[in-house]
Amino acid sequence: MKIILLVEDDISLLTVIQIKLERCGFKVVTARSVESAMEKIMKVDGIWLDHNLIGKENGMDFVIKFKAKTKKFKETPVFVVSNTSSQDVQKCYADLGVLNYFVKAEHKLSEIVKQVQTSLS
């Protein structure tokens, strides 16, 4: 069973995404801050990442720390799923090597989950 690290600060969204992912056959570990997420990165197959998180650090800080900590980054797909539609933010993620960027408001939950399934299968 593939393990997804779900990093999302909003509890309602965290819950609905977790349920959907689990229903689609993933094991889900959750985190709401960069600090908490960093503790759980070693055993995961993919990362579902929100940009705005609890605490001072955001999703970009997480990616930078993740890349610095382990070589696993290359083989671990990261999906940024955020309501921040700023092109500058998207470009920064792309520059960091994160190519999957979804604006929540523009997609159905099932669409994004489908993309995650395709990437990890």
Residues near another protein, by CB under 8 A: 10, 12-13, 16-17, 19-20, 23, 52, 83-88, 104-106, 108-110
Query: Which CB, 88 or 95, lies closer to another protein?
Result: 88
Q: How far is the CB of 108 from another protein (least distance, A)?
A: 6
**Of 80, 64, 90, 67, nearest to 6 (Cα)?**
80
Distance CA 103, CA 26 (A): 22
Query: Which CB, 46 or 51, lies closer to another protein?
Result: 51
Q: How far is the CB of 17 from another protein (least distance, A)?
A: 8
Q: How far is the CB of 72 from another protein (least distance, A)?
A: 29
Distance CA 99, CA 60 (A): 13
Distance CA 87, CA 89 (A): 5
Query: Which CB, 17 or 47, lies closer to another protein?
Result: 17
Amino acid at 43: K
